[in-house]
Structure 1
């Protein structure tokens, strides 16, 4: 049997990016960028990465973008604006980026509506939770008593998370305990509507959620792209779901 063109083509996976000051050579400019480990993980998993810089969302831009993609990754980055979940910003919070918050919200909303498979990483899981009406712990050292989730100076902390059985993430990486790499000072507090908690650390901090009414909607608080050279299973799970979505909508 001869495979169709749609079956042979790799799925297109959109990845959100930073938009902030960047320095390279003689240039010191505002730039959209994303660490290579993210899109290298997508390539390793069999997808084609497409970077999605923050931009105004008027005129259905996010919906137009999603109509050309087979999967979506909401990548890590700066803190979500606390005003979006009705809170006053903690002194340790990053300066808000309304453009990126709006862009990520619009992309996720469009993905959920169209059932485009998505993986939300670190900041991404927080964006997802706030979008669904949830709230965040704004500074985890005040909750757990130390900096176990963010060592600082660009060094990722290693933490244990326990994945719940009979969950999408368990089907991808296995249930039980996993050592993961973390770099965050915020996390989910009140869980948003329609989200199921599917992994936690021993201190009770939410480490993964899933949106149960879509085929593949997973958020993780850790950074799987940091381990993707050895273990790309989460990205493979997303790409496989994107491949099924592409075939269904060809």
Structure 2
């Protein structure tokens, strides 16, 4: 309950700054051997709870502040891509703390971050009107962003425009896999109602399985990657990743 209260009253840019101060103390206090964060290899007796509405227990790594989706994405990038070795020009929309410093230090990357509000953004910009030339980036990350944006179709078009032909990106969103069709209602503006219906006070929709087809309609070739299937039940629990999560890998045709 305390985490939920803090998340809902403190603006996100402040939370990012505060987290840098408290993270070392949390990591020391929770050290142990039961759970492992694959991003930094550290192990803990438990992870922290997280969630704006309903809290998920044991999901927030005290060292990297990664969640289930971050750890799964890291494992995918390590195991299935050349992201850590190939020379790449990368755009990271709303960069996550778990990745920001690590990606910034990679000698093989020309790494640019963008967001309207994040203190981690190099370029302050609206995702619906990006200030970059056509076909600028080899790789684009835009994770858990589109559910915040009223005109997500325009945002997707911008991601497509600035991606190079043959480039790829990962655009994770919160999804209800039991829902065939995305639900949105722009008349819902009350933060408490948004939290109740969409899962978070600043979300404007809840995506269904049609999300992938919406990306395809923009022009992307979308592969629905169920990467958790590469791991044993024991590893899924150790890393605290979600067994049925789908990673949308989006490519721009040549």
- TM-score range normalised by the length of the shorter chain: 0.3 to 0.5
Please, what TM-score do these two structures have when normalized by structure 2? 0.32
